[in-house]
Amino acid sequence: MRTLDEITEILGDDASYYLDHVSKKISKERLTVPGPRSIDNFIESDRNPQVLKSLSQLYNHGNLAGTGYLNILPIDQGIEHSAAFSFYKNQDYFDPENIIKLALEAGSNGVATTFGALGIHARKYAHKIPFVVKLNHNELLTYPNKYDQIPYGTVKEAWNLGATAVGATIYFGSEESSRQIQEIAVAFEEAHQLGMATILWCYTRNNDFKTKKEDFHSAADLTGQANHLGVTIKADIIKQKLPETNQGFKKIDFGKYDDAMYEELTTDHPIDLCRLQVANCYMGKIGLINSGGGSKGESDVKEAVRTAVVNKRAGGSGLIMGRKAFQRPLAEGVDILRRVQDVYLEPQITVA
């Protein structure tokens, strides 16, 4: 395990900005902070014992087992971003077995991918690492592209694959979002009845969320509200992009907002913006995992560690990172995933 000094060195001149920040708008005392008893967040819920067992399998697998934190490897980009574009940097991942092998080698809590990728190797690996089966996907062969997520299989199929959890994406703000919300609410209820945990990718999609001056798809207020809708349909874990800006409601001028809410709830500091996302997940009772984003080459290690520090110090529950890991040789992919895990294993990096 790397020391705090090594993490500080990776962050460089930005280390103090991220490691010494204190959040004063939404205090950490209001949060349910991740820890060894995180599953107890659900003991008064309507989740049945089999769901708690599945959550326990996910939280207690890999290098972060027993910490309350998650590092999940998601590789569904072959559909979402096209296979050639996703895998040309490392052709090994056209073979889905290598996706599972990477997650195992890196000590990830679980692997999230498609029905086909998991289905072809389920008998060999479902008992070795928790499977998160993505129920729906966008696709890029419709022209012009549209913001829709359609089912690629059923909850029962995921259960038959030995899945520990099901995952799904909703494009909040898109024309199709009303159907997607209803569709996934029903799917998550069925998954819970069958004893599986649920993870929701809460992404925003609307052409009007991007203005000539700024892109608000990752605004803290819009993504935070997407999170709040996600926990409403009983996602057990929320996946969200790290916020990069704020005041989406105000600057686009829609929805419900008040100038005072921006002053009362957050600052422009990345940890405070992410804290607003955590607050929208029932003040941390539902775990927030942020995505690692695309691969940019040499800066990937610093960006991955920075994202992990922001998430952890905001009160989040981990990172779900794919492209920074699989678009490089196996050993390098394992290393970057373990660097992220080291942030969550470092006791001196605490909630701000």
- Residues annotated as catalytic are 239
Residues present in the chain in total: 352
Q: For residue 25, what is the enclosing H or E element?
A: none
Structure tokens of 44? 């008064």
First to last CA, the chain: 22
- In angstroms, the CA 224 to CA 276 distance is 6
DSSP string, 219-232: BHHHHHHHHHHHHH
CA dist list (Å): 27 to 18, 23, 33, 84, 247: 16, 6, 11, 45, 20
Bridge partner list, 287 = 237
Compute CA 103 distance to the chain's CA centroid, rounded to the nearest angstrom.
15
CA torsion angle for 107, 149, 217, 248 (degrees, to 10)? -130
